[in-house]
Structure 1
Amino acid sequence: MAKDWTSKLPDAAQTYLEGHRLDEVECIIADLPGVARGKAVPASKFSKQAYFHLPDSIFYQTITGDWGEAAGDEGFIERDMVLKPDMDTASAAPWTGDWTLQVIHDAYDRDGKPIDCAPRNVLKRVVKMYEKMGLEPVVAPEMEFFLIARNLDPRQEIAPMVGRSGRPAAARQAYSMTAVDEFGPVIDDIYDFAEAQGFEIDGITQEGGAGQLEINLRHGDPVKLADEVFYFKRLIREAALRHDCFATFMAKPIAAEPGSAMHIHHSIIDIETGKNAFSGPQGGETDMFYHFIGGLQTYLPSALAVMAPYVNSYRRYVRDNAAPINLEWGRDNRTTGIRVPLSPPEARRVENRIAGMDCNPYLGIAVSLACGLLGMRNETRAKTQYRGDAYEGEPDFVNELGAALDLFDEATDLHKILGPDFARVYSIVKRAEYAEFLQVISPWEREHLLLNV
């Protein structure tokens, strides 16, 4: 790497370092759950290295730290990958005690071929398929999460954080500015950290749960936005820790409260014309618009294991509780799984409301785009628009991880888009996690079965 490499950093990173000496660089990559893995190296060493190594086993690791037997025919030899920095992702780590940058890396094998099961590579693969069709996908994620009281004992139920008033956060206060003010110090740090990292927040609102907030991001390139969600999860957790609380992105952390989603807004640009491909010359909805929705309706059931990756994820899909239970689509209808928000023709978009905030952002966005792509390729027609309360209908997808993985394993068309090796590794790792969960005896079982059966 050139000696003057810091002069070529993104503007926000240069502003952050202005007048300071860079101490350390965190070289990171997202694993399958979306956890940041990597190494922290002195800045002087980073300036001399073009890449570093990590074993491929990081992609076989479950959320508990165990491993799935996904290494392939050669066995579990933990072959080194070549991780190369994407300097466009260089970003401040403003919560650290010294002057530190984070840089997201991409994973390659020793022949320079992208590692198929690396989540960022999976998303890049899907985006390239759009580009081959002359299309540029655009996304805007919405991030929901809870600020909770510090929970040091997993046996204890999760409680909302105590706000600046000294009272626990109240539920059912959606869009309340007073409720947002309760978390003012945490939100101030979120804004400060985001500014230092060069991220533009489109807005923060109070959601329906006790201590539940939503952050909206500006629309843009799918890989760039997935990078931002990946960074934001760490940023928000660090901001919460500064104020003696936790931030959680669990899909359903509190039984009586709504769950947390990562709604994904999609639009598509025709590269040749620069226009929104969902809108025709007169502003009407195009066939591509309906085919994209049809793809979501047809293929999302098979993709659910990626957008709802844990046993807890399925607790979020509760009738009449702010989460979809079906794949109907409607205009300006938040009871449907697929929503078309109010917008002018040039901003026409489709919102996928299925994904949970617990999903890996690279994989959640990739699989949603993949479903839409299959719909456009196959000219899959959307069902008739749903009018009214979609909670009155029957569920359109399974309600537990094992069944979702069965459907994912059968979805060969989806595997071709995401990558067959990724699909193989993902299924093995998630089934290993599921098996771990089934070994745990829950308090419900001890309370109701111990002396009664």
Structure 2
Amino acid sequence: MSRKKAAAAPATSPVLKSASGQPALTSLRGATDWRDATAWLRARGIEDVECITPDLAGVPRGKMMPSSKFTSNTSLALPSAIYRHTISGEYPEETASFRYEPRDSDLKLVPDLSTLAVVPWESDPTAQVICDIVDTEGNAVCYTPRNVLKNIVRMYSERGWKPVVAPEIEFYLVAKNDDPDYPLHPPKGRSGRSILGGQGYSIAGINEFDELIDDIYHFSEKQGLEIDTLIHEEGPAQLEINLRHGDPVELADQVFMFKRTIREAALKHGIYATFMAKPMQGQAGSAMHIHQSVVDIETGRNIFSNPDGSASKEFFHFIGGMQTYVPKTLAMMAPYVNSYRRLTPDMSAPVNNAWGYDNRTTAFRVPVSDPNARRVENRLPSSDSNPYLALAASLGCGLIGIMNAIEPSAPTGDSANEGDVDLPRGLLEAISLLESDATLAEVFSSEFIGLYAGVKRGEFETFMQVISPWEREFLLLNV
């Protein structure tokens, strides 16, 4: 908001409070109601509003409209088919569990005004708002990603608990590439040279992209998004952003917005930012690690710790649930064929369902902390996952463990990556495991699992139509 527009606000304007508790005219993010939102938009001279929602892949879908129409109680709708197409836009064949809505009827967008924020990369004053999805009668649609996560959070709330999460998102910067037949390469930094690997935690590696990182921080600040830390990871031009811990839905919203923000900042500098799990052969993949704890709603006490500071039974059962069920929900955390290229031995990613104290080779790591901060880090999700679904799967598996008192294995003290791979080795196997368990159908809904599995099988079939360089290299003249 420019100073000129701020000065032009009428002196008699009501002092409304935003979702953050700040006056609507100064709050960076969020409004409490439509009156608040109208004042917020007017104060910033907003001309257009993007009403967006994540599809199954986490891609923003929605509508743009003039701000005057947005605040005039306009009914917003999208066809149900947007939750039934693959990442490449195909519509899979129907099966017994994957069905299209016969009339392809409308689903309604319901703006969550607490997510209202500017779009800082647009030249015209533009705002964005994340929307929930309901049917024409106003009922939440169970298979949409934000509602899947909200349902898991509700299951915790019914038991008097609140899950707390902190995602860490890795991504690569790559030189522009308009031909998918050619491999990706790191971009040139300020030195004029492409950055090489071995730059883990390197400040010089971050400084190579100072201006881009400044824009990421600037764009984030304008949207009211908070970055905890930013580091350079092991891969060439691979970065990681850590977010502050908080409510799962709010953090999923932030990851959803951050992905968009980082891509736009990179494009401004003539390069790409990619969240592919394995964009470059021979380099480390990109993860979305999730730190998780659970607190008592009334007392705020971390239920993973007993009053004397020792680990509670809920803590161990949470881990037991993850060990048992995360391999069966891996398709929600590793959703593409490419995701399983990251989950291979000797490539800086866990390929097990083990847990351990401060052991980065395990799938489930317990960081060193005081009892109030006792938590479990899930190191399996890849950065290509839909944040709403990855968080829902991870928290849902832990909750099943608590509900059923599932005991974990003994903690692993040595490397956990030297034995057999304890996870699905590919997308089809992961999908079959997701469909095979009745408990998962109860927790995530059979309708969501059927729809999700159908879309993922459709994506696998389109992948199988592509002939890879490996096949041309080794099969062309040898078989």
TM norm structure 2: 0.91
Confirm whether residue 230 of structure 1 aligns to residue 246 of structure 2: no
Distance in structure 2 (CA, Å) of the matches to 1:196 and 1:322:
34
- Deviation by residue 1:278-332 (Cα, 9 ceiling, x = unmatched): 0000100000000000000000111011111000000001223211010111111
Does the CA-based 8 Å contact 2:84-2:100 persist in structure 1?
A: no
Confirm whether residue 60 of structure 1 aligns to residue 76 of structure 2: no
Distance in structure 1 (CA, Å) of the matches to 2:438 and 2:89:
29
Distance in structure 1 (CA, Å) of the matches to 2:74 and 2:356:
49
Structure 1 residues 255 and 73 mapped into 2: Cα distance closer, same or farther (>3 Å)?
A: closer
Using the TM superposition, give the Cα deviation of residue 393 of structure 1 relative to its aligned residue in structure 2, in angstroms: 2.5
Q: More displaced, 43-52 or 107-116? A: 43-52
Confirm whether residue 155 of structure 1 aligns to residue 171 of structure 2: no
User: SS where residue 139 of structure 1 aligns?
Assistant: strand
- Deviation by residue 1:61-110 (Cα, 9 ceiling, x = unmatched): 11001123469667543210111100001111100011111101111111
Residue 374 of structure 2 aligns with an amino acid whose one-letter code is R
For 2:69, the equivalent position in structure 1 comes to: 45
Distance in structure 2 (CA, Å) of the matches to 1:354 and 1:237:
23
User: SS where residue 122 of structure 1 aligns?
Assistant: helix
Identity %: 50
Does the CA-based 8 Å contact 2:53-2:131 persist in structure 1?
A: yes
Distance in structure 1 (CA, Å) of the matches to 2:376 and 2:43:
44
**Runs of 5+ unmatched residues, structure 1:** none
Confirm whether residue 83 of structure 1 aligns to residue 103 of structure 2: no
Distance in structure 1 (CA, Å) of the matches to 2:75 and 2:16:
19
Using the TM superposition, give the Cα deviation of residue 116 of structure 1 relative to its aligned residue in structure 2, in angstroms: 1.2
Residue 186 of structure 1 aligns with an amino acid whose one-letter code is L
Does the CA-based 8 Å contact 1:27-1:85 persist in structure 2?
A: yes
Distance in structure 1 (CA, Å) of the matches to 2:331 and 2:43:
47
Does the CA-based 8 Å contact 2:58-2:386 persist in structure 1?
A: yes
Find the partner of 1:121 among 138, 143, 147. 147
Where do residues 16-55 of structure 1 align in structure 2 (5 Å cutoff)?
A: 20-55=44-79
Does the CA-based 8 Å contact 1:143-1:214 persist in structure 2?
A: yes
For 2:383, the equivalent position in structure 1 comes to: 357
Where do residues 328-343 of structure 1 align in structure 2 (5 Å cutoff)?
A: 328-343=354-369
Distance in structure 1 (CA, Å) of the matches to 2:257 and 2:14:
22
Structure 1 residues 410 and 288 mapped into 2: Cα distance closer, same or farther (>3 Å)?
A: same
Find the partner of 1:249 among 247, 272, 275. 275
Distance in structure 2 (CA, Å) of the matches to 1:77 and 1:144:
40
Q: Number of residue pairs matched?
A: 450
Distance in structure 1 (CA, Å) of the matches to 2:232 and 2:335:
25
Distance in structure 1 (CA, Å) of the matches to 2:83 and 2:163:
26
Does the CA-based 8 Å contact 2:290-2:379 persist in structure 1?
A: yes
Distance in structure 2 (CA, Å) of the matches to 1:293 and 1:304:
15
Does the CA-based 8 Å contact 2:80-2:101 persist in structure 1?
A: no
User: SS where residue 171 of structure 2 aligns?
Assistant: strand
Residue 444 of structure 1 aligns with an amino acid whose one-letter code is W
Confirm whether residue 419 of structure 1 aligns to residue 445 of structure 2: yes
For 1:271, the equivalent position in structure 2 comes to: 297
Residue 136 of structure 1 aligns with an amino acid whose one-letter code is K
Structure 1 segments of 4+ aligned residues over 6 angstroms from their partners: 14-18, 71-74
For 1:12, the equivalent position in structure 2 comes to: 28
Find the partner of 2:242 among 216, 219, 233. 216
Residue 12 of structure 1 aligns with an amino acid whose one-letter code is L
TM norm structure 1: 0.96
**Root mean square deviation of aligned Cα:** 1.8
Does the CA-based 8 Å contact 1:263-1:353 persist in structure 2?
A: yes
Using the TM superposition, give the Cα deviation of residue 411 of structure 1 relative to its aligned residue in structure 2, in angstroms: 1.9
Find the partner of 1:383 among 409, 423, 436. 409
Using the TM superposition, give the Cα deviation of residue 183 of structure 1 relative to its aligned residue in structure 2, in angstroms: 1.1
Using the TM superposition, give the Cα deviation of residue 128 of structure 1 relative to its aligned residue in structure 2, in angstroms: 0.3
- Deviation by residue 1:372-422 (Cα, 9 ceiling, x = unmatched): 011001100110010011122221111111111111110221121112111
Residue 28 of structure 2 aligns with an amino acid whose one-letter code is A
Structure 1 residues 371 and 5 mapped into 2: Cα distance closer, same or farther (>3 Å)?
A: farther
Distance in structure 2 (CA, Å) of the matches to 1:174 and 1:74:
46
